[in-house]
Structure 1
Amino acid sequence: MALLLALLAAIWMLQGLGPGNRGFILGLRATKLAALVTVAVAVGVSTILFQTVAANRVLTPSIMGFDALYVLLQTALVITLGGAGLVGLPPGVKFLAEIAVMSALAATLFGTLLLRGARDVPRMILTGVILGVLFRSVSGFLGRIMDPNEFAVVQSVSFASFNRVDATLLPLAMAVTALAVAVAWRMSARLDVLALGRDPAVSLGLAHRGVTLAVLALVAVLVSVSTALVGPVAFFGLIVAGLAHGLMRTAAHAVLLPAAGLSAAILLVGGQWLFERQLGQAATLSVVVEFAGGLFFLYLLLKGRIR
C-alpha cells in the first residue's frame, strides 16, 4: 500500500509537467498532495479510533456529529467576532484554540454518551445522530440571523472541497496530525484491550474511562485538522475503515491504524488525480465519495455488520 501511494504521488507530481516554470508548478502540486495525505491520514486514523471506543463498525465521528460540532464552533466564532474579526485572527492560534475547544467538548459530550450507552447500540446511534442534527440545526438558525457576508464565511467551511486547501494551516496541521497519530500508535496495545469491551478491559487492568476520554480527544484533534483543511466529510471514514478491516483481517491496531491511513491516502490522491487530471473536473470527488460511503453505510446496516 505504501508503494502504491508512492507511485500515485509520483504520477500526481510529474504527469503533464511541461517546460515552463516547473518549480512553481511542483510547489503547488506538492502543497495539494501534502494536504490530501494529511486529511486522509486524519480521517482514516480517527475513524478506526472512534469505532474502537464505540465497539461499532457503523459509527464514524462524522455520523455521530463531530463535524457538525466543528461547524457550530465556527458559526459561534463568526457570531461573536464577526467575519472580519475571525479572518483577522492569527491562523495558527485560531487553529490550536479550535482543537482545544473541540477536544474538551467532544470528551464531555461524546465521552458521557459512549461511557453510559456503549452496551445499547441502537440508543447510542440514535443519540449521536440527534446530537449531529442538533448541532446542524443550531448552526442553521444562527446562519439565518447573521449578516449575509458573515454567513458566506460560515458556508465556506460547511461543505467539503478537496480543491480548496488553506496552505497557511498546512504545516501546523501536518505537525498536529503526526503527533496525534504517533500517540495513537503508542496506544496500540491498550486499544487492542479496549476493543474487547468494557468489562474484559477493566478485568485486564485497563483504565477504561481514562483511555476512552484520551482516544476521544485524539479523534477531536484529527477531525478538527481534516475539517479545517477541506471541510466536513461524512462517510469517507466509513469506507477506509471498512477497507482496512477487509484487507488486513486483523484486530491489531498496530496494523489497522497505518492501513486505514494508507487506504484513505490512496483513495484521495488517486481519486483527485482521476477527477482533476483525467476527467477535467467533470465530477467532484467529495460528492462521489459521500455517495459511495452512504451506500456502504446502508449495506452495513442491512447486513447487520456493526461489530
Structure 2
Amino acid sequence: MRTISFSEATLEAMREEMRRDPTVFVYGEDIVRQGGIFGQFKGLPDEFGNRVRDVPISETAIVGAALGAALTGTRPVADMHFADFIGIAYDELANQIAKNRFMFGGQANIPLVIRAPDGIANQAAAQHSQSVEGWLQNIPGLIIVTPSSPATAKGLLKSAIRQNDPVIYFEHKMLYPQKGPVPEEEFFTPLGKAEIIRPGKDVTIVTYSIMVQKCEEIAKQLETEGIDAEIIDLLTLKPFDRETVIASVKKTHRCVVAHEAVVTGGLGAEIAATVQDLAFYWLDAPVVRVGAKNVPIPFSPLMEKYVAPQKEDVIRAIYRVLHREG
C-alpha cells in the first residue's frame, strides 16, 4: 500500500469522482489561482477546466449557490476556505439546505458537500482556529463528517460526494501534510459508522479528527502502566455511531470523550448524555469530557497550548474514571 499525504488523498478523491461523474464540480476562493489555501485542489483546473472555479469572497453566495446547483441536478463541492466563516452562511445551511428535502416532501435530493478546514493551527488565532462542529449539531437534515487520516480523508470524501443529502466535511488544517497508507484501488469509508482503531478492556476513549493521533499515543503510553484503552474514531459526527460507542462502554465500563473543540456545548456533551441514557447501569464512573477551554483561541503560542487540550488532560481524565491518582 502506497503512502500519501492527507491533502493528496482528498485531491485523489476529487479527481476520481469528477472523472466518474460530470455533474460533480468544485468552487470556492483561490481554488484555481492558488490550488486552495492548503494545496488541496492543486492541478484540478488543468484537467477539469470550468468545473473548478474561483468565486468572490461571499460565503453566503457560495453556500446558497450550492443549494441551487444541487436542486438542479448537479453535485457541487463548495470550499469554505476556513470553517470559521461558515457562520456567515448559517441561514443557508440551517434554514434552506438542511430543510429543503423535508419541506418538499422528499421530491428533491440535496447532494452537496461543504468542505470546511478547521482546527487549531500554529498561531492562526481566534478567527481561524476554531472547531465549529458544535454549531451545526442541533440542525436536523445535515450529515457531519471529519476524517483523521489520509485513508479516511479519501474514503469519507468519496462517500460524501455520492451521498444524496448535504454533508459538512470538516478537515483539520494540521492534518493536510501528514502521510499515511492509502489503498490504490477504489474504496469508500461508510458514513455513520465509527471505527474501533484500538481494542481495549479498561476504558473507552471516544474521539475524532486530529485528537485520534494524540489518543493513540496516549494509549501506547498507558499500556506500560497496565491500562488497556479502547479508542473509537467517530468519523461521522452526525449522526454518530451510537451502537459502537455503547457496545464499547458496556465492555469497558468507563468512557472519556476527547475533542479539540470547546467543551461547553461540544459533541462530547451529546455523547456523554447518550452514554448516560443507554449504558448508565454499565458505568463504573461518570463520563469525562476533554476539550479546549471556554475562551477564544489565543495568538500567543504559549497561550494557544494552554487553551488547547493536551495529552496530559486526556491522561488525567482516564486516571479519573479508573479512580487512580495521577
Shorter-chain TM-score tier: under 0.3
- Which has the bigger relative contact order, CA under 8 A and spacing at least 6? 1
* Higher strand fraction (1 or 2): 2
Normalising by structure 1, we get a TM-score of: 0.23
